[in-house]
Structure formats: structure tokens, C-alpha cells
Structure 1
Amino acid sequence: MGLGSWKRRGRRTLVAAALTTTIVAGTAGWASGHEQHPLTGPPPGVASWRADGMLGRALPDPEAVSPSHLAAFFRGLSATEQHELAVRHPSVVGNLDGAPIPLRYEANALALRAEKRRARRDARNTTLTPQARAAARALAERCSDLLAHDRRILAFDPRGRGQVAEVYGDLSAAGHVSVVVPGSDIDLGSFDRAKDEYGTPTGMAKSLYAAARGRTAVVAWVGYTTPVGLGPDAATGRLAQAGAPRLTRFAQGLTAAGAPKPTVFCHSYGSVVCGLAAARLPASDLVVFGSPGLRADSVSDLHTRARVWAAKDDSDWISKVPHVELLGLGHGADPTDPSFGARRVPAERAQGHTGYFAPGTDSLRAFTDIAIGASS
């Protein structure tokens, strides 16, 4: 290659990197970005859990033991002891990967009721600013929504922008399990918003559960701090690096509690999380769609035993994102490029960046087959 070609290639790479800072992988698309501080570490309330001597011995440290060890700990308890721990430490047990699934539902219902009471007190507190009181009212309404209609809440953490995981189907008895990992602009307040339904993890999960006719349980997982709008958060892997261990531990907790290895569906920036988690993620299949890249050049770079699938429709604006990674900006190769080595999912009938789970699309039909183990 001549010097002129190298210069042209270098200019294209620099231009691509510059574009990556302004055109990035978010579900909202073109909003202005704000730097987020990722939520990491153990569940809320862990200090009181560590200090509890109810059983006459130290409780296992959520930061120090694996989900499989936590599952073994709970198997050694009576039903009464399990229930008592959920009552005493609902915010810990409800988010404890490896704890029995029904116990987590019970604990999160308790945590939601407690948070609702606290938020209502704050909403009436005239010493707070009007903005703080309005936020408290919104949180109380959010908790009420999550407590309604026997919703199965597998995780709930109101800190920061809030995190949550909701289950569709019988996760304890399911022969197949799917986990939906969302992209940007998703949090406790927006994970089940009515607007742009199939761009939310709840909308995707509901659609897949209905299409599969209950043959897979589906988890809408919002367990990491997502980017907001456009900006450096969405153009870099910082939040994905913080989120990947959380996704890995969550999936390990499912299998430790007796669920099968999940099929993990990763949308937009969520695919960056999945790419960084892939090597340790106990998944049967990894399905990325509307992806800006997985921070890998090929499937082999993911070091995963899971089957890797990729989908992108022609109308998805993610196609405008340069598939480069330079100086920490960008997320690497296009996983739908044949050279990447992923199995291609048809998406001719999907529309835009958030239409892959819309009923009647070829992508949803293919996703359903993957989720129930009917694709080879």
C-alpha cells in the first residue's frame, strides 16, 4: 500500500472516530448525552445483612461468594429461615443472584412497598424542593405500578436512575429462558414505557413471550447503568465494562437457582455489554441486534461457547455508526458482516432501530425459534 493510501485510510479512521462521538448506540437516538455514574457493588442494605447474626453465624457476603455458593446456602435453610431473611433484608435478598427465584419475588414486593412508603413521605415533606417532591411522587407511582397485577419482579434497586428485572412466564419451571439486555436511555422509569413499545425491554420480553406461546420464560433485565442520549458514554465502553460483570453474575444466578442457560438478546449498546461479558456468560445463545459492535473483531474473539447471532435491518440508523475502535471510541466490527462469523438473523420486515420484536416481523419469528431451541 502506498503512502497516499495509508494517509487516506488514516483520515477515514480519524473521521470515523470523530463521528462515533456524535452518532452512537442509543435507543432514543438523537438526544444530547450526559455522563452517567455506573452503579456497581453489592445490593442496597448489605451492611445490615453483614451484621446480622440471626442464624448464629455470619451470612455469606454477596461481594465475596459466587451465586452457586449463595444457592447452596439457601438450600441449607428451612422455608421459615428463608422467609425471615427476606423480611429482615428485602433489598438484599431481592437482588441476590443465586437466591431462590420465588423468594426474590417475595423480597422485592416487600422492598417495593417500603420504598413506596418512603417516597410518599418525601412527597409530603415541605422541607424538600419542589423538584425533589415531584421525583418522590413519581417514584411512589412507579412502585405502585410494579406492585400491581402480580408482576414478577426479580430485581429492584431504586438507587441512581433505578434498576429492575421483570419476568414473564414461570422462570422456576421453564424449559427455556431468555434474557433481554437493553441499550441506552433505559432505567427504572422507562423500561416499560408505552412510547416506542418494542424499544423497551418489557415490550421486547412481552412480544417474545407471546410469540413463543409460553415455551420460554423471558426476563426484561435492566441491571446496569445505561448511557443517556448521545455522548461519550455511548461512544465508549466505560458503562459496558461496569455492566458486563453484573450481567454475568445475574445469568450465573439464574443457572445456580436451577434455570437453564439462557438465550441472551442484546439490543444496541446492550450488545457492547454482552460482548464484554461473553467469555464468562453462561448462555446457550447470544443474539445481538441493532448493534454498534461488540468490542471484538470476530466471534472467536468473544471466547464463548454460545452460538452467536446478529440482526440489522436496512432502515436501522445504527448503520450510520462507523464500525471502528480507536483510542477507546467506537465498538469495533459490525457483527452482521459475514467476516465477523455470526449467524445472520433475517430482519427485512423490521423497521428502524427498535422494530426487531414487532409482531409479524421475520426477526421476531427467528428470535422465537432461537429462544425455544428450534434453530440450528
Structure 2
Amino acid sequence: MGLEERVREERGRAGRRGVHRGRRVRGWRRGLLAAVIVAAVVVPLSAAARPEIPAPAPASLGRVTAATLDETYAANRANAAEASRMADAHGDRERAAADRAMADPARRFLTFDGRGSGRAAEVFGDLAHADRVAVLVPGSDTSLDTYDRFRATAVHLRDELNRQARASGDIDTGSGPRTAVVAWLGYETPGTVSTTVLTPDRAEQAAPHLREFVRQLHALTGGDTRLSLLCHSYGTVVCARAAGDPAVTDLALVGSPGTGADTAAGLHTRARVWAARGSDDWVGEVPHVEADLFGTTVGFGTDPVSPAFGAHVFAAGDGGHSDYFAPGSVSLTNLARIVLGETSEVTRA
């Protein structure tokens, strides 16, 4: 066989290998999609087995203002302390410990509800005087029992905001923006292994509460405050349905399975829409589809980091699904820049 014939033969083999690989990948994706659909229709819910945990009703508070913040924080700490006592009497030591930690005098909660999976909105920074506020919205498997993991993301963001301010000299001169971070656990998140995580139902229930929270926060901080929603995983589905409020200036979607909208314009928001995904995030392998099955919508459609969606895609490094707020990470650096309004400094993917 001559040289030209050997080259043609090798090209043919390479082409056949590529076809086989393509078929394997498409087959794998079809298999994953089938599993998603089966799970949505057949797999039972994972959460419902735990008995209801007793706790007092939320503290009765009037309209929260900058002048009444300290009273609000104190009332919610007292409520958390009572919730801890009730959970302990019920024999749930895990929840009792979580509630007791939230009753610490150093903690500041705008809202707290210890009933069921729990609700909370914790403040980091001087909210009354902030002109940059970031609201973090979590994804699946977040409750009062797992709250410390979510809280850590808020602490890391607050630390990064301070680090960038120190680096620019803003803290020393007092000339930079004043920032605050709010960790908003304001809805019953779905379980990661459950039917609810595959549908928008929980997001549709949560969105009115997030919209109302944003409105109250904007009124509390004043009309000139820049308010960013930083949303993770299933939380991006929630934020997509609440971002239309004009108070929201930036919307960041990280580790998103999709939003239910075909494009960023379909979110009907005036906010600048950002999106990122780490190279090791398993969400990238989830089929970005949306289908109606037996009256239930399954999946969330267009990938927010795809060109077709039209978001401002920023770099997130090589992190996994839980690494977007890891200290020192590319994604955390960029998220802080978005909150600070330093959009020209955000590194693009």
C-alpha cells in the first residue's frame, strides 16, 4: 500500500472512531435524559419521612426599617432560642443545636422560622448603611439542618468583598461602596434526589416570597442601593422567576440547570444577567431540555452559559458544583466584582 493509500485508510479509521464516540456520547445523553424523565414520573419523593419538628411561630414584627433593625435581630434570636428548646424537648438534638447557634448574640436575622425544614434570612455587614447588597439564594438540600454550609458561602463572599476593598484602599479612605450580604433561605428547597428538583414547582412557590423580600430590602436600604441576586443551582430557577423587580440590578446564575427561559431576555428583567459554570461541575452533563410529561414540566431548558441564552458569561475556573464561593477561587473573585459594580474587571469565560 502506498503512502497516499495509507493516509486515506488512517483518515477513514479516525472518522469511524469519531462517529462511534459521537454515538456513545449521544447514547449516554439519551440514557441520562431517560433516567431524568423516569425519575420525574416514577421515583418517590426523598424528603417526606422526617417527623415535623415543633417550633414557635415566627416573631410578630411590624415593617422592618433601618431604625428597627436591632429590635428585629433581637426578636429573631429570641425565637431561635425558643425553637432550640422545643426541638430539644422533642428529642431532635441536631435541630436544637442548629437553632441554638442561630440564637447567638452576634447573629443577625431579618427573618427566622424554625418550623419544618426552616426559613431564615441572615445579614452580614451593616445593612442600614449599605449601598451594595448581595442576596444569596441556595439550591437543593438546604435547610436549617444544613444551613452552616449555606452560611459559609455568605461569609466567604463578605470576606472577599472586604479583601477587594482593602486592596483598592477603599476601607482605609472610606471612599468605596459600603456592602452587606444576605443569606436568604426563604423557601423549601427540593431534595437533590427527588422528583421536585426536576420541576419548577418549588421555584414557582418560592418566587413570590423572594420578590417580596427584595422589595422590602430595597425599601429598607433606600432607593439608590445596588442589589444583586447571586443564585446557585436550583436557586437559579427561583431567581429567574423573581428577577423582574426593578430593584435588582445584577443577576448571577452559577451552576444552573437552566432557568425555564429560552434566553436572558425571556427573564423580563432590567438587571444585567451573568452566568458561570466551573469546568468540573456535573451540571454541565445534565441535558438542558424542557418537556411536558403528564401535565408536569420536567427540566429547565436552555443552558445559561450557552451563547444562545445571551448572558454575560464569566470565568469560574475548574471548580465543581459546590465550589463557586470557595475562598481564593476565580468565581468568588468575579462574583464580588459583580456585587461591587466593577463589571469591567470581571474576567470572561
TM-score range, shorter chain: 0.7 to 0.9
1:347 aligns with 2:347: no
Contact 1:23 1:320 in 2 (8 A): no
What are the Cα deviations for residues 165-222 of structure 1, in whole angstroms up to 9, with x where unaligned? 11111011012000000000001121214xxxxxx2x122111111111742100110
Corresponding residue for residue 255 of structure 1: 218
* Equivalent-residue separation in structure 2 for 1:182 and 1:118 (angstroms): 23
* Equivalent-residue separation in structure 1 for 2:194 and 2:83 (angstroms): 34
Question: For the structure 1 residues 121 and 35, does the alpha-carbon distance in structure 2 shift closer, same or farther, using more than 3 Å as the test?
Answer: closer
1:319 aligns with 2:319: no
SS at match of 1:278: coil
What are the Cα deviations for residues 225-258 of structure 1, in whole angstroms up to 9, with x where unaligned? 1001222100000000001111111011001112
Question: For the structure 1 residues 184 and 375, does the alpha-carbon distance in structure 2 shift closer, same or farther, using more than 3 Å as the test?
Answer: same
- 1:365 corresponds to which letter in structure 2? T
SS at match of 2:154: helix
What are the Cα deviations for residues 42-91 of structure 1, in whole angstroms up to 9, with x where unaligned? xx85xxxxxxxxxxxxxxxxxxxxxxxxxxxxxxxxxxxxxxxxxxxx71
SS at match of 1:266: strand
User: 1:140, CA displacement in angstroms?
Assistant: 3.4
Corresponding residue for residue 152 of structure 2: 203
What are the Cα deviations for residues 265-308 of structure 1, in whole angstroms up to 9, with x where unaligned? 00000000011112236211000000000110001111100000
- 2:46 corresponds to which letter in structure 1? H
Contact 2:255 2:281 in 1 (8 A): yes
SS at match of 2:269: coil
SS at match of 2:253: strand
Corresponding residue for residue 72 of structure 1: none
Question: For the structure 1 residues 105 and 154, does the alpha-carbon distance in structure 2 shift closer, same or farther, using more than 3 Å as the test?
Answer: farther
Q: Which one of the candidate residues 188, 191, 207 is aligned to 1:244?
A: 207
Matches within 5 A, 1:59-74: none
Flag structure 2 segments of 5+ consecutive residues without an equivalent: 1-26, 50-55, 166-177, 345-349
Larger fraction in strand: 2
* Equivalent-residue separation in structure 2 for 1:341 and 1:356 (angstroms): 21
Contact 2:207 2:239 in 1 (8 A): yes
SS at match of 1:144: helix
* Equivalent-residue separation in structure 1 for 2:76 and 2:145 (angstroms): 17
Question: For the structure 1 residues 36 and 245, does the alpha-carbon distance in structure 2 shift closer, same or farther, using more than 3 Å as the test?
Answer: farther
SS at match of 1:109: helix
Flag structure 1 segments of 5+ consecutive residues without an equivalent: 1-10, 25-30, 38-43, 46-89, 125-132, 194-199
Sequence identity (%): 38
Find the structure with the greater CA-based Rg: 2
Q: Which one of the candidate residues 170, 177, 197 is aligned to 2:133?
A: 177
User: 1:146, CA displacement in angstroms?
Assistant: 1.1
Q: Which one of the candidate residues 307, 310, 313 is aligned to 1:338?
A: 307
* Equivalent-residue separation in structure 2 for 1:273 and 1:282 (angstroms): 16
Question: For the structure 1 residues 275 and 15, does the alpha-carbon distance in structure 2 shift closer, same or farther, using more than 3 Å as the test?
Answer: farther
After TM superposition, the runs of 4+ consecutive aligned structure 1 residues lying more than 4 A away are 11-17, 21-24
With the length of structure 2 as denominator, give the TM-score of the two structures: 0.75
Contact 1:311 1:345 in 2 (8 A): yes
User: 1:360, CA displacement in angstroms?
Assistant: 1.8
Question: For the structure 1 residues 256 and 314, does the alpha-carbon distance in structure 2 shift closer, same or farther, using more than 3 Å as the test?
Answer: same
With the length of structure 1 as denominator, give the TM-score of the two structures: 0.70
Question: For the structure 1 residues 207 and 119, does the alpha-carbon distance in structure 2 shift closer, same or farther, using more than 3 Å as the test?
Answer: closer
User: 1:33, CA displacement in angstroms?
Assistant: 4.8
